[in-house]
Amino acid sequence: MTAPENTPPRRVSLIGLGVMGGPIARHLTHAGHALTLYNRSPAKVDAWRKANADCHVTVARGPDEAARGADVVITCVGNDDDLADVVLGPQGVMQAMVRGSLLIDHTTASARIARQIAVEGRDHEVHCVDAPMTGAQPGAEAGTLTLMCGGKPAAVELARPVMAAYARRIVHVGKAGTGQVTKMINQVSMAGILASLGEALRLAQAEHLDLERVYEAISGGAAQSWQMDAHWGTMARDEFDFGLTIDLMRKDLGLALDEGRGLGLSFPVAALVDQFYADLQAMGAGKQDITALVRRLPRRGVHKG
């Protein structure tokens, strides 16, 4: 994917080369941006460079070094603590970013830290956007991610041409922190859909139905969902070694449940599915895709004829 027409190349630094950051880095270089990388584990940088030998990048020794002189800094790390370290810590990017530069954070984190970063950005005269992602690893690889963005309108508009290198849909949902809250809403929605989809699949299997015919019948009606279209077949075949892991989904649901508690709200379905995922972690499935939720439901039933 190339940069949008009339978008000049920028000096971009990317912090975090995980399953999402790695593909994003590749799209940024293909779009013509001058890219600097930093990852706490140098081995990941070495592996990325070996796998992307056609991409010219500079490697930094720390977040502050990566951010020094950059027009845009992108962070894509694990959680609030990681984000606080690489952005707000003594060697964090905020200490090195120049006035008028842009910080885009793709970490799925709390709204609280997104707001804290926005305040620090205001004090340093740095534009900040919290832009968690949906689309999982396949979306990152294809450059078709959806980004839900919180921040000032001017900051989001500055970020949009850069993010367009790896995202198909970029939506500004509101002020700082609202991108993170929107991601929580997304994960709460997914939890209920996946739980019911697994139950529906097990019913079809217990009745010994033709699963392709069942999918054909129900995917064109009111039960249709993106999860059904993407994962009915993989769930039926017990394929779970891809995508968003159960460990990460529990982190995401924990953020949503905490946010709800702070507002005096309870989410009983999401809380129940979170416990289902805890069961799967106990089974050793924490690194499997979230669709492995169906594994909690045994295959039973005899066709009634």
Look at residue 103 and give its three-state secondary structure: strand
Looking up tokens 């993106």, which residue turns up?
Answer: 226
Helix, coil or strand: residue 156: helix
Residue identified by tokens 């700082």 is 176
CA 229 to chain centre: 20
CB atoms within 10 A of CB 174: 14
304 included as an active-site residue: no
Catalytic residue among 50, 175, 183, 251: 183
Contact between 247 and 283 (Cβ < 8 Å): no
Output the CA–CA distances (angstroms, integers) from residue 271 to 16, 69, 182, 195, 201, in the order listed: 30, 44, 18, 12, 22
Q: Where are the alpha helices (DSSP H) in 219-245?
A: 226-236
Q: Give ∠ CA 178-184-189 in degrees, rounded to 5.
A: 130
Q: Give residue 294's identity as a one-letter amino acid code.
A: V
Q: What phi and psi, each to the nearest 5 degrees, are found at residue 207?
A: -90, 5
What 3-state DSSP class applies to 96?
A: coil
The CA distance from 31 to 190, in Å, is 32
75 touches 17 (CB < 8 A): no
* C-alpha R_g of the chain: 21
Residue bearing tokens 């929605």: 189
Catalytic residues: 183
